[in-house]
């Protein structure tokens, strides 16, 4: 009988008091292109096989929990007491860090990618000044 890993050893995130687990998910996705194509080009179109965990072209991307600060907006009227109580939101993004560009002062992340090509989805770019912490989530 094969040994099963304890559930606590899997990647997870706690939101409120509820624990959410991460799984490797593969699915077929559409491939879209708004350009003109002849019949031969149309016959070569394939759907993409997308994945949420893994390696891309032998380059390993690491999975992180990124805590960052975001604006809180409200178009309504406020008195001074209400204005003094306004706070920024603390947001959490979980995904792979694509790169940290110290020159542009940004961090770029993604959560989904194509198995065949270096194509990314669920992307974000953060100003480094907004990031409160980055925690690497271990396998």
Confidence of residue 63 (pLDDT cuts 50, 70, 90): confident
Q: List pLDDT tens digits, range 100-132.
A: 999 998 999 888 877 777 778 888 889 999 999
Q: What pLDDT is stored for residue 84 in this prediction?
A: 94
Question: How far, in Å, CA of 97 to CA of 111, rounded?
Answer: 9
Cβ-proximal residues to 93 (8 Å cutoff; 6+ apart), any chain: 65, 66, 68, 109, 124, 126
pTM (2 d.p.):
0.62
| Residue 64 near residue 95 (C-beta atoms within 8 A) | yes
Eight-class DSSP state of 2? P
């Amino acid at each position: 009988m094969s040994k099963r890993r304890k559930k606590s050893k899997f990647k997870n995130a706690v939101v409120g008091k509820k624990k959410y687990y991460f799984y490797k998910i593969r699915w077929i996705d559409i491939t879209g292109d708004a350009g003109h194509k002849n019949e031969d080009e149309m016959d070569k179109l394939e759907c993409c096989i997308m994945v949420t965990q893994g390696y891309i072209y032998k380059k390993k991307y690491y999975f992180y929990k990124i805590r960052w600060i975001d604006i809180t907006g409200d178009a309504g009227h406020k008195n001074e007491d209400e204005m003094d109580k306004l706070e920024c939101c603390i947001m959490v993004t979980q995904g792979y860090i694509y790169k940290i560009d110290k020159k542009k002062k940004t961090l770029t992340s993604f959560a989904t990618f194509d198995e065949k090509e270096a194509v990314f989805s669920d992307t974000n770019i953060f100003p480094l000044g907004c990031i409160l912490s980055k925690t690497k989530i271990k396998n």
